[in-house]
Amino acid sequence: MRQRPDLDFSPLEVLSRVARLSRHLDIARKEAFRRSDIESWEWDVLSALRRAGEPYQLSPKQLLQQTLVSSGTMTNRIDRLVARRFVRREADPGDGRSILVTLTEDGRVRVDAAITRLVDAEALLLDGLARGDRDRLATLLRKLSLGFDA
């Protein structure tokens, strides 16, 4: 900063902290998922199905849109989740040529346990902030991410 007074270092002051917090978040998430015996990629798919609500099913295309992976990767993930009995493939009653991926009871129990552990772990990361500060930070981060999510 003193060495380069011609530069505005405020982006580094913000985003270096975000990067550091991201590393702590990754560690907390990995531990929550480890304790739930799932991988982070499994979490992505299982939580998308859980968020869909009863009957907890989505098409592979819908899963692609929510998890932002390629179709080949999604097929592999679904195969592996079927092997673990966390999901099953079912014929789409609205289109006999298509399938739906459905969360099984085992998958629902697993993802529910993981979300409980994840919420607890992430709450600990934010423990030093009052509720109002959390709300303001969430609003600012949402505003910042809008440009990237488009």
Overall pTM surpassing 0.75 (yes/no): yes
Q: Write the CA distances from 72 to 15, 88, 97, 118, integer angstroms.
A: 33, 18, 18, 28
Per-residue pLDDT of the chain (150 residues; tens, 9 = 90+): 688 889 988 888 999 999 999 999 999 999 999 999 999 999 999 999 999 999 999 999 999 999 889 999 999 999 999 999 999 999 988 887 899 999 999 999 999 999 999 999 999 999 999 999 999 999 999 999 997 866
Bridge-based pairing of strands 57-58 and 95-103 is antiparallel
Task: Give the right CATH number for 10-149 from 1.20.1250.20, 1.20.1050.10, 3.40.50.1110, 1.10.10.10.
Answer: 1.10.10.10
